[in-house]
A and B are shown apart, each in its own frame.
Chain A
């Protein structure tokens, strides 16, 4: 079974600065997907960024980028130019590509606070 670990329950960053959220995972599979989701107070999970394991290039979405280290099973999220609207819970998630096992496995989350 796969596991996802987020070791930082809480993080804070000054507005306009850069912050990195950590995530490690454990799997015996060679092909899979990794995600970062954001959960604001509205409770809806919003996809921030997605990485396909077979792609060596790190995914980027505007101010959000990842550092994907497959051998180390590490998947960190970097938020540049932090904005007040980035304040939320951030969850790292894993998805198998094995048919019938496509559920998302989540970490316990990191609460990000933006300091004005």
Chain B
């Protein structure tokens, strides 16, 4: 068990460019979550997958954002036409499927800077 991994760890891009982040959850964890964290704030929920199904999306996930988990394993988060306000840490977490809510384990995050 190597934990949740995220790539890249850092990304600098120019406004208007598209970026894609990848998250590899803990193996056999059915649930995968994306959060965003801006400076001085706690993480904010973006979206959640159970296997390949995207079950919930936050209002923070504008139409420029899209997340996929095509085979129920790794997930990608794409931001199109990036804006300076997209600069943040993007966090991924995973949890096993259980009867109730299970503990979420977080990856190290991808820090995005939009110039």
- Whether A and B are associated in the same complex: the answer reads no
B residues touching A (Cβ–Cβ < 8 Å)?
none
A residues touching B (Cβ–Cβ < 8 Å)?
none
